[in-house]
Chains A and B, each alone.
Chain A
C-alpha cells in the first residue's frame, strides 16, 4: 500500500538515527537539514516568537547529540522530533509565566493558519475558491482539533503518535480528528452546494 518513496524515507530516517546514536556527525547533520525547517514551521504554530522557536529546535538537536547514548533505537524520528519541539516550547511558556505550575502542554495554543499553497493548485479557479473556503473553515476550528488535523494529515503522524504528543488517550485523539472533520463537513455541505451551483452557472 505504501509507496516506495515513503518506505524509503522511513527506512532512511531510522538508519540515520542509529548512525547518529553511534556518533556519526554526518547523519546528525543530514537529519538536521532534513527536518529543521519543518520543525521551525511547526514551532511557529505554537509560539509567535520566531527566534525562540529556532532556539528551541536547535536545543532539541543539541540534546539529541549530547545525550545520544540514551536514545531509543526504534523511534519514528519525525514524531519524536515534533514531540520534542512541542515539549520544549511548552517548557518555555512555563518559564515565562512565572508560576504556572503544570508542565502540561495543554496550555499552548495552536496558532497556525492553514493556507493555500498556490503552486499545488494549478487547477481551475473554482478549485482554488473551494480550497480557500475550506482553509477558512479549518482555521475556525478549535485549536486542539486544528492541531490534531495538522499533525495527522500535514505531518502524517499516526493517531497513536498524536495522542502521545497531545498527552491524551487514543480515543480522545481520534475524537479530536473526527469532530474536526465532522464540523468541516457539516459547514462545508451547506456552502459547497452553493459554490457548485455558482460555478455551473459560470460554466
Chain B
C-alpha cells in the first residue's frame, strides 16, 4: 500500500480498485479511513475523488429474479433455434427460414444460375415451371427487350441509373421508364446488376421461378438453359429471395441471404437450399466474374488506372483527354455503385469542368484537367 502515498491526482484514486471498493462497497481492507486522516491535504483529495466516484454512478434498472429467469429461458430457446438452423444449413436443406425482418439492403452481389425457357420443354407443359416469356406476358408496363447475341458482355443503363452487364446469349426485359413503386426487370441468361439506391422503390429481378428483391445494390444473375437449378449468391449486404407467386401462392418461402451466402433453387421440387460457405461450392466459385474480382477502392490512384479498371469491369471503352488528366490522382470508393454513378463520382472528383457521355459501350469524358 505504499503506492498511494505518492498519489497526487484524483485519477490516481479513481483507478485504484481498493479505493473503489472502499467508497462503493464500503470494504476498507487497506485502512483508507485512517490513511486519509493522516494529512489534511490528502483528506481534501480523497474527498474529491470520493464525490466523483459516487457521481459516476449510473441508475440501475432493477430486473426481478423472474425477469432474469425469463431472459435466460428466452436465450436458451434462441440457442436451440440457432443450433437447429445451423444444422439445417449444414444439411443444406433449408425449407423454411424464419427470418424476421427484411429491413434493409446495403449492398449485395448476387449470382444466380437460372435454367431457362428450354427447360419447360423437358418438364412438360403441365408442370409449374415459370418461363421468361410467361413473366413478360404478365407485365403490362410496355417492356423493352435487349438481347445480347455477341460474344462479349454488353452494358445496359436503366432509366433509374442502374446498370446491367448483360452476358452473351442472354436477354433482359425492362420498362423504358420505371413507374410505380417497384422496379421490375426480367432476366433470362446472365447479367451483373448494379442498382441505384432507392429504398422507396425496391428492385425486383424476376428469373423464372424466383424473385430477387433488393433496394439498391449490385448483383449478378446467371442463367443457362441446361441447368435444373437456380443459384443466387450474395457478396455484401443483404438480399431477399422468394419463389414467384406463379409457382407457389400458398407457402411463400423466403430466404434472406447475407454476404458470401448462396442459395440454390431446385426446380424439380421447388425447394431452396441455402449454402453458407460459398468457397466450398465449386460451381459458385468458378462462376465469379471479372467485375467481382476487381476492387473499386482507390487510394491516391491515377485517374487513368481508375478508368482502366472500369473498362475491364464493364467491357466499355473510355475515351478521355490523357494529357490533361495525366497528373490527376484520386482517392475514392466506387464499390456498390452503378456504372453511371461511378462515372459521375470520378468526374465530380476530378473537377467541375469534367463530364461524361455514354453511348452504348462508348464513354467519352470531357475535361479541362483536375483541380
Shortest distance from the beta carbon of A29 to any chain B beta carbon, whole Å: 6
Within 8 A of A (CB), among B190-230: 197, 199, 215-216
Q: Which of B14, B18, B25, B199 contacts A153 (CB 8 A)?
A: B14
Q: Indicate whether A179 reaches chain B with its CB closer than 8 angstroms.
A: no
A98 contacts B104, C-beta separation under 8 Å: yes
Contact residues in A for B29 (Cβ distance below 8 Å): 3-4
8 Å CB interface, A46-77 against B: 50, 54, 57-59, 61-63, 65-66
CA distance A137 to B55 in the complex (A): 10
For the complex formed, measure the closest distance between the CB of B317 and the CB atoms of chain A, giving whole angstroms.
31
Residue pair A98, B105 in contact (C-beta under 8 Å): yes
Cross-interface CB contact of B57 among A2, A57, A62, A116, cutoff 8 Å: A116
- Give which listed residue, A38, A66, A101, A178, contacts B82 with CB less than 8 A: A66
Q: Known contacts being A62-B79, A66-B79, is A113 close to B55, with CB within 8 Å?
A: no
- The reply to whether the CB of A105 lies closer than 8 angstroms to some CB of chain B is no
Q: How distant is the Cα of A121 from the Cα of B50 in the complex, in angstroms?
A: 11
- CB <8 Å contact, A44 and B55: no
- Interface status of B125 (Cβ within 8 A of chain A): no
Q: Are B52 and A115 in contact (CB under 8 A)?
A: no
Question: With A66-B83, A98-B104 known to touch, is A5 a contact of B21 (CB < 8 Å)?
Answer: yes
Q: How far is the CB of A118 from the nearest CB of chain B, in Å?
A: 10
Per the 8 Å Cβ criterion, residues 73-131 of B in contact with A are 74-75, 78-79, 82-83, 86, 103-106
Shortest C-beta distance, B277 to chain A (Å), equals: 15
Interface members, chain B 292-322 (any A CB < 8 Å): none
Total residue contacts A-B, CB cutoff 8 A: 138
B57 CB contacts on chain A under 8 angstroms: 114-117, 120, 154
Are A58 and B78 closer than 8 Å at their CB atoms? yes
Within 8 A of B (CB), among A184-203: 184-185
A41 with B60: CB separation less than 8 A: yes
Nearest residue in A to B55 (C-beta to C-beta)?
Answer: A134
Residues on A with beta carbons closer than 8 Å to the beta carbon of B53: 153
> Does B72 lie at the interface of the complex (its beta carbon under 8 Å from any beta carbon of A)?
yes
Q: Compute how far the CA of A130 lies from the CA of B150 in the bound complex, rounded to whole angstroms.
A: 81
Q: With A62-B78, A66-B82 in contact, is A99–B106 under 8 Å at CB?
A: yes
User: How many Å from the CB of B3 to the closest CB on chain A?
Assistant: 7
B15 part of interface (Cβ distance < 8 Å): yes
Complex Cα–Cα for A92 and B51 (A): 36
Q: Tell whether A120 pairs with B54 under 8 Å between CB atoms, given A4-B29, A37-B68, A65-B79.
A: yes
Among B3, B20, B82, which residue has its beta carbon within 8 angstroms of that of A156?
Answer: B20
- By a CB distance below 8 angstroms, the chain A residues around B68 are 33, 36-37
Does A181 reach chain B (CB closer than 8 Å)?
Answer: yes
Residue A135 at the B interface, CB < 8 A?
yes
Measured CA separation A149–B78 after assembly (Å): 34
Query: In the complex, how many angstroms separate the beta carbon of A116 from the nearest chain B beta carbon?
Result: 7
Pairwise interchain contact A114-B55, C-beta atoms closer than 8 A: yes
Say yes or no: is A152 at the interface (Cβ < 8 Å to chain B). yes
Complex Cα spacing A11 to B314, Å: 58
Query: A58-B78, A59-B78, A65-B79 known; A99 and B216 CB under 8 Å?
Result: yes
* Contact code string B39-60 (vs A, CB < 8 Å = 1, else 0): 0000000000001111111111
Interface contact B55-A96, CB-CB below 8 Å: no
Q: Please determine whether B61 and A44 come into contact, CB atoms closer than 8 angstroms.
A: yes
B137 beta carbon closer than 8 Å to chain A: no
Q: Which residues of A contact B59 (CB under 8 A)?
A: 41, 113, 115, 117
Q: Is the CB of A185 within 8 A of B10?
A: yes
> Would A40 and B103 count as touching, CB distance under 8 A?
no
The verdict on A104 contacting chain B, using a C-beta distance below 8 Å, is no
Task: Knowing A65-B79, A131-B51 are in contact, say whether A150-B58 is a contact too (CB < 8 A).
Answer: yes
Residues of A contacting B86 with CB < 8 Å? 66
Instruction: Let me know if B61 and A62 touch, CB within 8 A.
Output: no
Nearest Cβ on chain B to A122's Cβ, whole angstroms: 10
Contact in complex: A5, B71 (CB < 8 Å):
no
15 A-B pairs (CB sep. < 8 Å):
A1-B18, A32-B75, A66-B79, A98-B104, A99-B197, A114-B56, A115-B58, A116-B57, A117-B57, A117-B59, A117-B60, A127-B51, A153-B52, A154-B57, A181-B10
- Taking A37-B60, A40-B61 as given, write out 8 further A-B residue pairs in contact, using a Cβ cutoff of 8 Å, ordered by the A residue number: A1-B16, A32-B71, A32-B72, A50-B61, A116-B57, A153-B53, A153-B56, A184-B52
Please give the residue numbers on chain B whose beta carbons come within 8 Å of chain A beta carbons, in ascending order: 1, 3, 10-11, 14-18, 20-21, 24-25, 27, 29-30, 51-63, 68, 71-72, 74-75, 78-79, 82-83, 86, 103-106, 197, 199, 215-216
Binding site for B on A (CB under 8 A): 1-6, 29, 32-33, 36-38, 40-41, 44-45, 50, 54, 57-59, 61-63, 65-66, 94-96, 98-101, 112-117, 120-121, 127, 130-131, 134-135, 137-138, 149-150, 152-154, 156, 177-178, 181, 184-185
